[in-house]
Structure formats: structure tokens, C-alpha cells
Amino acid sequence: MNKRLLITDLDGTLLCNEQKLSISNRLALEKARSKSCTCVVATGRSLYSAEKVIHPDFPIDYLVTSSGGAIYTWPDKKLLWHEAFSLEESNSISHFLLKEELPFMRHLPCPDNHHFYYSTPKSPPADFLRRLEIYKDFCFNLKASNPQDSLASQFLVIFNESPRVISLHRFSKAMNGVTLIKTTSPLDHKSTWIEIFPKAVSKSKASEFLRNLLSINKKNTFAIGNDYNDSDLLEWAEHAYVVGNAPSELIQKFKAVQTNAEGGVGSAITHFLGLDF
């Protein structure tokens, strides 16, 4: 039987709105693994954050965190690969964001990237302050700490409005194409988050790393997501699906199934397993 690679986003896709794995989705993943599928969760969460909702008995083989910034085996959490900015890049990005007076967080390298430095201009977004409160035991004021000798795995910029994204895209080009990933806040579900990663980081590149590692034919790749930060993964996969709660632009572009609350991942997996390869 042909080996297959199945990659699913986590929040808003695989998990229901209560951040739990439904019985139908669990059974679908278990069935996929019994049918020569390697199952992978690819999430924007750090390992620390992912472990809050993914337990050791979760029916997957690999965990991709930080939107492709690190790859772990599951459940033993062996770090297979990770990426970080150079020290020069880390400090250049910090300098730019400080100059632009943007509210941002500078994360340490994986697997400790739930630790970060932060900079807050006047009147920071409520969503930014909400995240600081969640990670109050792991964050440090950048101006007080001055982390000039520490590498960064990623930066997170949080907006109440989107026009200033343009300046970030200009900066991205000046930095020789750092990866910018736009997503909707998982906290208030309306603020815009822009994540800045090294150019080698993306969910699709992490998936391609695993495909090559496991010697799986590209035609046997499956992905499912729910938001813009899944776009590169969906473009990469031979068989791409979105859940019904995805933005309309994605629903029009990829095969749509039920919402995450209705077990859409399970339906997509069932359809994928039934395809004739």
C-alpha cells in the first residue's frame, strides 16, 4: 500500500471550538494511521502552547510548531529540525520594529520559544496586552533587558488595524525575503497578527522536509486548514481541503468540508482515504 502524508492545522481546524479533539476526528486519524498514513499536526503554537491541548496519546506521528519553525516526533518530542534568525538579523528586525513604534514580541529559539522579549509603544492593542498576561511568567521587557546577544526564532506584531502591514512587507523585501505570515488572532478572533520568520520557515517547507525524510510520493500528500496562515501548506499539498469556517477566499479556492465544530477534518480524511492512488 502506498505511504501517505496527512498534515492538519490545529486550532479552528482539527480541534473543535472548545479546543478538544472530537471522537470522529480521533477515529479518522487512527484509521488513517492504520492505512499507511503518517499523521502530522502543523500549528502556529509553540511546543509549550501545543502541549496544553495535544496529549501524549494524540494519534499523530509528528508535530510541526511555530508555523514550520520546528519539527518534533510525537509523543517523545524529539526535536528533528528548527530554524532561527542570525544575531545580525535578529537585531536588525528589532531595530526596525522599534523605529516603527510597533508592538512586538521577540521569541527565543525553539524549543524555548514560549519565552520572549516585548516592546510596547503608547496605547498597545488590547490583544497584545492579553497575550502578555497569558505569558507573564515567560516574557521580559525588551528595553529593560536589551537582548542584543540572543537569537530570535520569530517576531510577532499585533495590530488593531491592517494598513501598517504595508511597511512590514517593504521591510521584508529589504531583508531579502523574510517570511511574513498573516493570521487572525486566536485570542480575540479579530485582531491581525503578523508573524516574522526566517525565510526557510513555513508549514509547507516543514511538510516537504517530512515528505523527503519518509520517502512519500508528492501525489499522496493531504493537507487541511482554516486560515490564511495555512495557505502555503494548502498550495503545497496534492490534496487540499478547508473546513467550512475558513474565510470565503479559501473556501472558493480549495475543497470545503464541514466546519471544525462539525468534524470537518474527519470527513476530509475519509474522502482522502477513499481516493484511488
Report the distance separating Cα 246 and Cα 221, nearest Å: 20
Residue type, 144: A
- Structural domains of the chain, ranges and CATH numbers in brackets: 4-82+201-273 (3.40.50.1000), 87-197 (3.30.1240.10)
Q: What is the pLDDT of residue 277?
A: 47
Q: What is the pLDDT of residue 160?
A: 67
Q: What is the pLDDT of residue 193?
A: 87
Q: In the predicted model, what is the mean pLDDT of residues 81-100? A: 91
The tens digit of pLDDT for each residue in 30-74 reads: 999 999 999 999 999 999 999 999 999 999 999 999 999 999 999
Percent of the chain scored above 90 by pLDDT?
A: 73
Structure confidence at residue 169 as a pLDDT band (50, 70, 90)? low
The tens digit of pLDDT for each residue in 257-268 reads: 999 999 999 999
Is the confidence at residue 99, as pLDDT, over 90?
no
Is the confidence at residue 164, as pLDDT, over 60?
no
Structure confidence at residue 202 as a pLDDT band (50, 70, 90)? very high
pTM: 0.89
Is the confidence at residue 1, as pLDDT, over 60?
no
Given strand 139-141, what is the order of strands in its sheet?
139-141, 116-119, 104-107, 154-159, 192-197, 179-184
Q: What is the pLDDT of residue 147?
A: 73
3-state secondary structure of 245: coil
Q: In the predicted model, what is the mean pLDDT of residues 99-117? A: 93
Which residue from 35, 79, 80, 41 is spatially nearest to 60, judged by alpha carbons?
Answer: 41
Per DSSP (E only), the strands in 108-207 are 116-119, 139-141, 154-159, 179-184, 192-197
Whether the bond into 125 is cis, omega within 30 of 0: no
Do 41 and 64 form a contact (C-beta atoms < 8 A)? yes
Percent of the chain scored above 70 by pLDDT?
A: 92
Is the confidence at residue 148, as pLDDT, over 70?
yes
Is the confidence at residue 179, as pLDDT, over 90?
no
Least confident of 33-37, 112-116, 141-145: 141-145
